């Protein structure tokens, strides 16, 4: 009695997964290019997504607060849920103002991150020979933050969309490279 090995379904599943990852990465690259080409619209879409997330989480928290009537912090949970819902509605009905505030926060975040990264490069000698690279990263991040603040509120029209586009483009490209490398290694 001879037994034939079962068909290798794992290889087929891996090839299908790689195909999906390649499709996803191409989609991310396409969205990144689109966001770079029309950063104002991308900024509005990103800000509105944040508004919808805040509104949805607020509604869920309000519902949860009423379902947990024996919970001691029910009033606090209800209050936080209401605040989230109000914040979400404010963002959705005031996209321009919300985008401006988000851009200001992003600029301040870049400045603080740049200062801390520079300090880390010099105090911890991160990576020994690569500490210069960490310092350059901090300097560039600090400069980006200063540029955002100096151009604010006008930078609010394009900055978030442009940065999201660049991020999507780079994420999609790196994901595509990884997927193609895996596919090549399996061939």
The 10s digit of each residue's pLDDT in 12-25 is: 557 778 888 889 98
- Cα 137 to Cα 108: distance, rounded to the nearest angstrom: 16
In this structure, the number of other CB atoms found within 10 A of the CB of residue 71 comes to 12
Residue 7 inside a domain? The answer is no
Q: How high does pLDDT run on average in the chain? A: 82
Band of the pLDDT at 147, cuts 50, 70, 90? confident
pLDDT at 71: 64
- What's the domain count of the chain? 1
Residue 1 inside a domain? The answer is no
Supply the range of the domain harboring residue 102: 14-186
The 10s digit of each residue's pLDDT in 43-80 is: 899 899 999 999 999 999 988 888 876 666 677 888 89
Q: Determine the angle formed by the axes of helices 159-186 and 9-37, rounding to 10 degrees.
A: 160
Longest dimension (CA), the chain: 80
Residue 4 inside a domain? The answer is no
pLDDT at 6: 56
């Amino acid at each position: 009695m001879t037994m034939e090995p079962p068909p290798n379904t794992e290889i087929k599943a891996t090839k299908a997964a790689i195909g999906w990852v390649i499709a996803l990465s191409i989609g991310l690259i396409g969205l990144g290019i689109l966001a770079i080409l029309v950063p104002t619209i991308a900024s509005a879409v990103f800000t509105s997504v944040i508004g919808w997330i805040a509104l949805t989480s607020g509604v869920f928290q309000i519902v949860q607060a009423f379902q947990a009537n024996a919970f001691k912090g029910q009033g606090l949970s209800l209050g936080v849920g209401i605040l989230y819902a109000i914040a979400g509605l404010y963002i959705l009905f005031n996209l321009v103002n919300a985008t401006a505030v988000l851009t200001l926060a992003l600029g301040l975040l870049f400045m603080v991150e740049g200062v801390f990264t520079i300090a880390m490069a010099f105090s911890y000698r991160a990576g020994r020979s690569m500490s210069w690279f960490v310092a350059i990263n901090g300097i560039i991040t600090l400069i980006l933050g200063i540029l955002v603040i100096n151009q604010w509120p006008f930078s609010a029209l394009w900055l978030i969309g442009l940065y999201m586009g660049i991020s999507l483009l780079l994420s999609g490209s790196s994901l595509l490279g990884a997927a193609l490398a895996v596919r090549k290694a399996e061939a």
